Each structure stands twice: as C-alpha cells, then as structure tokens.
C-alpha cells in the first residue's frame, strides 16, 4: 500500500516536470538570454543502476580550506555549502555519499604549464572533487558534472599595487604572474583572453602564492578568488570557465550519469533555489547560484527535456577506453595554446575506435605515468599499471619494453636520432662504433637507452637519465652531457644530427598493460582500416592538417604486426 502510494506520487511529479518542459518546447520558441542553463537529459527513476554501481558509497574530496564552501568549524566538524549540496543532490536519488578530506593536489596539479589529474582522483581514492571550474584545457584531463555555481577570475596584488599592474592591458609581459598548481587561471586562459604575457610561477598553494607577492618575486596572482586576506583583489573580472563550477571527475566516470538528472530534478522542483537561499542565511555568505533555471534550458546545445526518457542499457554498460597523452608531442598529440587537445595520434585513435565500435576518450597524463627508467631498466608507469587509463599513444615497440608492457600493431614508422648543442662542440659522430668518450643522456622511460646501444653494437660509457626534455636540454647546455639519444627528429634550440638508427622492433604503436584486451580489438579494427584503404586516407589527411610529414607505412607494404618473444610468454 505504501509502495503504491509512493509510486503514484512519483508519477505525478514526473507528469508535472513534463508539463513544465512542454511549456517551453511545445509552445513559444522565444530565446532565453540566461547565461547559465542546463545540459543533459533527465532520466526516469526506472533507469537500470546495474552499471552505475548500485550500493556503492560515492566519495567526494574537499581540502577543508575553502570557507564558506568547505571548512572545519571551531570544533573540527567539516561544514560548508559544498558539503550540504552534495548531501542534497545525493538524497534526490538516494545515493550513498560521503565527504573525504584530501589535499587539493590529489585532485589536480600543474606540471610545466599543463593541468593533469591528481593521484587521488586517478587512483580512485575518491570519485569526485566538488567546486572545480570547467575549462577548455581541463576538458583534456577530466570529466565534469553540470555546473551548479557561476564563477569568474580576478587579479590580485600586494596592498597598494606596487608594480602598477592594470588588468585592462593587453600586454602583461613586464609582470611576473603566479597561479596555484592545477588552477584554470593559467597560460591557456591568458591565451584565450588574447593577453600577451611573460614569466609565470606556479605556486604550491595559496600561502606560497601570497609569499611570492609579498616578497616581490611575483607581481600578480591570477585566481578565481574574489577576496584574499592581506592582499588586494582588483575589481576587473575575466572568464576562464565554460559554464561554471561543478564536480570534477576522472575521465569515464559514471557519477555524472546519476548526478546530472538528480541535480536537474532538484532545480525543477524549486529545491535548488531554496537550498541556495537557505545556505546564504546559514553561512552568512553570498553564493553565486545559477538563476533562472527551468525546463528547456540548455548549456551545450541540449535542452532539459521531460523526465520520460530512459538511458539505453547498452549505452550505460559500454566501457570507455582511456588513452593517455602528455600533451607535449606536436603534431602527434598536443595541447594547443588555448588548451584544446589535437594531433594525428588523436585523430587516428578516433578512426580505429570508430571502426571497432568502441567508446574511446583521451586523458592528459604525465609521460612518466606510462613508462619510466630505474637503474637502466624500463618499467611500466604507475598510471598504466594502476588503471588510470588503458593505453598510452605513440610508444615504439622495443625488445626491452616488451618485457614490461604489451603493444598493438605499429601504425607509424619510427627511428632514433642523436642530438647535440648547435655546432656539435664535443665533435660527436654517430657513425663511430665507440661512444665511450662521450656522456649520453636520454629521457626516463625512453627506448633510446643502453640496451638499444648494445643492440646497435656500440661501445659506450656514462649515461645520465633526464626527468624530462627541459632537463635533458639543460644537461647539454651545461656540458654535463654531450649527446641526447631520442626518437625526436627536431628539438628547438638543439641540433639533431642527420643519422638515423633503429631501436624499435616494429614502429610507433599503442602501449598497454600486460594482458589488456584492448590489443585484440584494436588490431582487428586497425587491420580492417588498412584493408579498406582508410589507413592511408587518415595519414594523407593528417599530413595536410598538421603540415607535417607523418611517417605512415607505405601503401601496399606488408605492415609489421605485434608479437612477443617466447621468453615473455608463460603457458
């Protein structure tokens, strides 16, 4: 009896919601000028939850330092707008949700001016990070729920603005800027704002940023904060965001599938507006809640529709395969100046996934999460082994790497080079057989290593392993190394010698964790593309699009296929 009454009540609610939507969509099509509007479809409660981890406890991470959004009160209790809001949305669909304290760098970090997802989010310590701004560049590393707060960005200076910084200028290059690690108020946003700029210092946290301003190491803090104790926030506002502030998720997360409909239900019932009003009273603060939300509103081109649509079970159950890229390998896989992901490898993965009818996405990740070197042996990175993603794009298949990972068929030719300081001051000659008088360097995780030199029958001496390309370049310019051994055909400010050698077995491929099922479906789809002539088509389009000689395997050539020495196979 009680269940029947409850079901009838739910039916009435959904009819009312559908009526609201029809007032917008079945009648006048007058355009609404509201800035912030809703994006996804509201689904019925009958949606299957088998793929949405029924019974799971969903964890949301906050750092406890963002009063009035999330903070510890004088008794040590975690409170705030975000804490209450998560509870409110979860209650709409009766999800089990808890808040967990974690440093914000477990959600996101900045490394060499690119934002990456933090260890905590990628390793599954928690499912989401509330209160993060959706931006163009963050889309390369994260998924997001619909926004629930408006936001903007500002420029902060020491009291009295001693450097005379003016946000309205087009050229900031005379000023040193700082922003917090992982922030959207970064170089990419400045590029989108068409600002010219020079030095940017990434601060570890807000106290670090404040210290940089007060000791005059930096002139300006670029942040999303409107008030910072002891500093002067200038009145001008700019926008780095796309839509506003939402919950930041690991790529491929299922959380948004239930969160977005629950949030929309809260909006349409009037509960969202009521919650915002009550929160302002409770915390004696102004929250920038989105106004004017109602049925028919859109954020990214999709109207909020009546609650009569169901999600197909196939769509709900389909796995998302994640492909990692560092964002630094132009023209293969890179983040452009404004933060968009682009590159031939991305286009090619999309083509293969479409042929295989698989759902694929890309995630920014530091290259050391794919592969690193320890005491001259290459190991698979933490991200690949812990399942942060399924594969790493554009890694050459080599004998030594095959002991740690699996590879798909190669899709690009590969070779390796020797790079020196312009003018080759040490007189290095790649054609010599004895390199023992020269100090080599290579990047951690690279297959251009000691084992390759041995396979090339080269005699060699000292090898210094560099953490990244800037460090390798510094080793050369400081004369701590004579030669960089790498697969790169061009490196700014250095001289790549013309000789080419081969460290690979087949070529540039997709690298996976050992035993990954991705290899089988990928190879089948790739070989299908080759048979249909679509492989060469993608290659030709890539050469034109990126104005670069993409080294695809020639047409009518027997392509190398993946395979492993028997030493590595048990059974």
Query: pLDDT band for position 556 (50/70/90)?
Result: confident
Say what the pLDDT of residue 146 is.
95
Say what the pLDDT of residue 54 is.
65
Residues of the chain with CATH 3.40.190.10: 32-130+251-311, 154-233, 319-413+506-568, 417-496
Say what the pLDDT of residue 21 is.
37
DSSP at 227 = -
Query: pLDDT band for position 53 (50/70/90)?
Result: low
Q: Which of the residue ranges 52-56, 346-350, 538-542 would you say has the lowest mean pLDDT?
A: 52-56
Instruction: Say what percent of the chain tops pLDDT 70.
Output: 84
Query: pLDDT band for position 37 (50/70/90)?
Result: very low
Q: Which of the residue ranges 41-45, 142-146, 355-359, 479-483 would you say has the lowest mean pLDDT?
A: 41-45
CATH for the 154-233 domain, from 3.40.50.2000, 3.40.190.10, 3.40.640.10, 3.40.390.10 = 3.40.190.10
Q: Which of the residue ranges 49-63, 293-307, 421-435 would you say has the lowest mean pLDDT?
A: 293-307
* Contact present, 488 and 419 (Cβ < 8 Å): yes
Say what the pLDDT of residue 22 is.
39
* Contact present, 178 and 218 (Cβ < 8 Å): yes
Query: Residue 57 and residue 96: Cα distance in Å, rounded?
Result: 5
Instruction: Please state, rounded to an integer, the average pLDDT across all residues of the chain.
Output: 87
Q: Which fold has domain 319-413+506-568?
A: D-Maltodextrin-Binding Protein; domain 2 (3.40.190)
Query: pLDDT band for position 11 (50/70/90)?
Result: very low
Say what the pLDDT of residue 318 is.
79
Query: Residue 28 and residue 23: Cα distance in Å, rounded?
Result: 8
- Expressed in angstroms, the distance from the first to the final Cα of the chain is 60
- State the architecture of 32-130+251-311 in CATH terms: 3-Layer(aba) Sandwich (3.40)
- The string of pLDDT tens digits covering residues 105-141 is 999 999 999 999 999 999 999 999 999 999 999 999 9
Yes or no: domain 417-496 corresponds to CATH 3.20.20.60: no
Averaged pLDDT, 510-516: 97
- The string of pLDDT tens digits covering residues 174-219 is 999 999 999 999 999 999 999 999 999 999 999 999 999 999 999 9
User: Is residue 163 predicted with pLDDT exceeding 70?
Assistant: yes
User: Is residue 301 predicted with pLDDT exceeding 50?
Assistant: no
User: Angle between the 255-268 and 2-25 helix axes, to the nearest 10 degrees?
Assistant: 80
Query: pLDDT band for position 304 (50/70/90)?
Result: very low
Say what the pLDDT of residue 232 is.
97
Query: Residue 319 and residue 215: Cα distance in Å, rounded?
Result: 50
* Contact present, 149 and 225 (Cβ < 8 Å): no
User: Is residue 49 predicted with pLDDT exceeding 80?
Assistant: no
- The string of pLDDT tens digits covering residues 226-263 is 999 999 999 999 999 998 999 999 999 999 999 999 99
Tell how many helices (H) and how many strands (E) occur in the chain.
14, 32
- Could you give the maximum distance between any two Cα atoms of the chain, in Å? 90
Residue with tokens 């260890």: 119
Say what the pLDDT of residue 563 is.
55
């Amino acid at each position: 009896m009680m269940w029947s009454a409850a079901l009838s009540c739910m039916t009435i609610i959904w009819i009312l919601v559908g009526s609201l939507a029809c007032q917008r969509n079945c009648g006048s099509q007058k355009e609404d000028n509201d800035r912030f509007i809703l994006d996804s479809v509201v689904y019925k409660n009958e949606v299957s939850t088998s793929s949405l981890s029924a019974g799971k406890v969903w964890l949301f991470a906050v750092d406890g330092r963002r009063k009035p959004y999330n903070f510890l009160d004088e008794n040590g209790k975690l409170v705030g707008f975000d804490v209450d809001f998560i509870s409110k949305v979860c209650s709409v669909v009766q999800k089990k949700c808890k808040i967990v304290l974690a440093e914000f760098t477990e959600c996101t970090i900045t490394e060499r001016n690119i934002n990456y997802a933090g260890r905590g989010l990628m390793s599954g310590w928690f499912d989401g990070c509330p209160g993060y701004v959706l931006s163009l560049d963050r889309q390369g590393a994260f998924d997001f729920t619909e926004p629930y707060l408006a936001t903007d960005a500002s420029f902060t200076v020491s009291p009295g603005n001693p450097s005379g910084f003016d946000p309205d200028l087009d050229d900031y290059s005379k000023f040193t800027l700082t922003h917090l690690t992982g922030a959207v108020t970064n170089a990419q946003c400045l590029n989108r704002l068409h600002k010219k700029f020079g030095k940017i210092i990434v601060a570890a946290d807000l106290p670090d940023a404040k210290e940089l301003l007060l000791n005059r190491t930096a002139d300006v803090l670029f942040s999303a904060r409107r008030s910072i104790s002891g500093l002067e926030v200038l009145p001008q506002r700019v926008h780095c965001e796309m839509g506003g502030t939402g919950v930041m998720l690991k790529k491929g997360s299922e959380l948004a599938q239930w969160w977005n409909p629950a949030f929309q239900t809260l909006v349409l019932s009037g509960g969202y507006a009521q919650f915002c009003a009550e929160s302002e009273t409770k915390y004696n603060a102004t929250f920038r809640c989105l106004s004017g939300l109602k049925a028919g509103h859109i954020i990214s081109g999709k109207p909020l529709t009546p609650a009569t649509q169901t999600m197909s079970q196939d769509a709900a159950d389909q796995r998302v395969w994640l492909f990692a890229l560092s964002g630094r390998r132009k023209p293969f896989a890179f983040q452009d100046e404004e933060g968009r992901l682009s590159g031939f490898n991305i286009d090619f993965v999309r083509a293969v996934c479409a042929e295989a009818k698989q759902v694929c996405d890309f995630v920014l990740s530091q290259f050391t999460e794919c592969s690193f070197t320890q005491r001259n042996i290459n190991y698979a990175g933490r991200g690949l082994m812990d399942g942060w993603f399924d594969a790493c794009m554009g890694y050459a298949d080599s004998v030594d790497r095959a002991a740690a990972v699996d590879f798909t068929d190669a899709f690009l030719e590969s070779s390796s080079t020797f790079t020196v300081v312009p003018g080759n001051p040490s007189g290095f000659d790649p054609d010599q057989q004895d390199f023992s008088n020269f100090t080599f360097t290579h990047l951690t995780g690279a297959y251009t290593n000691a084992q390759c030199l041995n396979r090339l029958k080269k005699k060699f001496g000292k090898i210094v392993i560099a953490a990244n390309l800037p460090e390798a370049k510094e080793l050369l310019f400081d004369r701590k190394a004579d030669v960089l051994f790498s697969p790169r055909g061009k490196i700014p400010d250095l001289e790549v010698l013309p000789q080419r050698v081969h460290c690979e077995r087949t070529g540039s491929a997709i690298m996976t964790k050992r035993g990954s099922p991705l290899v089988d479906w990928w190879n089948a789809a790739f070989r299908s593309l080759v048979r249909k002539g679509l492989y060469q088509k993608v290659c030709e389009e890539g050469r034109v699009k990126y104005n670069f000689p993409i080294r695809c395997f020639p047409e009518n050539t027997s392509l190398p296929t993946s395979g492993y020495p028997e030493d590595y196979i048990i059974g």
